[in-house]
Chain A
């Protein structure tokens, strides 16, 4: 039933598919993030407790939730690469890592910039903040491991194992605000019950969360394409592309 997927493990097919998908992801990501950000910054109502400082939420929450989602994506790809030896999966994991690191940095930075006016401090060593910082280090570890081996098959294996072991950190981040007392507030978006947030704040937030997901998708495609070319430098179709570019 899923056999049609198999040819896409072939580097050339994967490259062509990514090329085709990229404009859609790019267009949708820009549309969503532009809508969500303008709505959130200018049109969403002011919070009765936090005033306008809460508007940081429209990047903080998308960045934070997508930093974890991207990690799960990366770890899944790494797992597929390790178990079934599908190289395209290894390249996907390598493509996601730097994006995840930047998104995690944004979650941490916007959190600090929101914490200062609301909590009176940029940073506290509590469970939520510390575990998110660990996530950043996990991403950096994966990037560093993948970069340290000349043999990229070996590099992907080493980085993949770290990525998979690091998955333990994801539930810790997610439930840290429930398991330990924290300055950080618990989540206000509920999937199974009604969210504890006014809808005119919730909609722009959800739009930006989708937008961040699409943006991570688009950037993953861009980096995945470059990774395919780098790992297949000896293939005739890549050499042709290189020569066509060199002629310019």
Chain B
């Protein structure tokens, strides 16, 4: 461990603002990317399921008319 105490670690030798800003923004943007990427597949599948349901309804209304 390079630092004597936790407060020392947070202080980063006086560069706390710059170091934690860099790390904070990096991990926040990565977290956003990861969450959006993981949601993508679900969104695609929901979209396809909706389309299938729409096709089914169309088919039904067509067969009802005839």
Contacts and interface: CB of A to CB of B under 8 A. Distances in A.
Given A233-B48, A242-B49, A245-B42, A102 B18 contact: no
Interface of B: 1-3, 9, 12-15, 18-19, 21-23, 25-26, 29-30, 32-34, 37-38, 40-53
A42 B26 CA distance: 18
The secondary-structure label for the interface of chain B is: helix
B25 A239 contact: no
Interface in A86-105: 98-99, 102, 105
The secondary-structure label for the interface of chain A is: helix
Contact of A59 (B22, B37, B43, B48): B22
A106 B46 contact: no
Interface of A: 41-46, 51-53, 55-56, 59-60, 63, 98-99, 102, 105-106, 109-110, 113-114, 116-117, 215, 219, 222-223, 225-226, 229-230, 233, 238-239, 241-243, 245-246
A102 B41 CA distance: 19
Contact of B13 (A43, A52, A229, A239): A52
Contact of A222 (B12, B15, B41, B45): B41
Contacts of A238: 48
Contacts of A113: 18-19, 21-22, 25
A52 B19 contact: yes
Nearest to A53: B15
A105 B29 contact: yes
B40 A223 contact: yes
A248 B6 CA distance: 47
Nearest to A37: B23
B12 A45 contact: no
Given A102-B33, A226-B44, A229-B41, A110 B52 contact: no
B13 A246 contact: no
Contacts of B50: 246
25 contacts: A42-B1, A45-B2, A51-B14, A52-B14, A55-B12, A59-B26, A102-B30, A109-B25, A110-B25, A110-B26, A113-B22, A219-B34, A222-B38, A223-B37, A223-B40, A226-B43, A229-B45, A229-B48, A230-B47, A233-B44, A239-B48, A241-B45, A245-B42, A246-B45, A246-B46
B33 A42 contact: no
A31 to B, nearest CB: 16
Contacts of A52: 12-15, 19
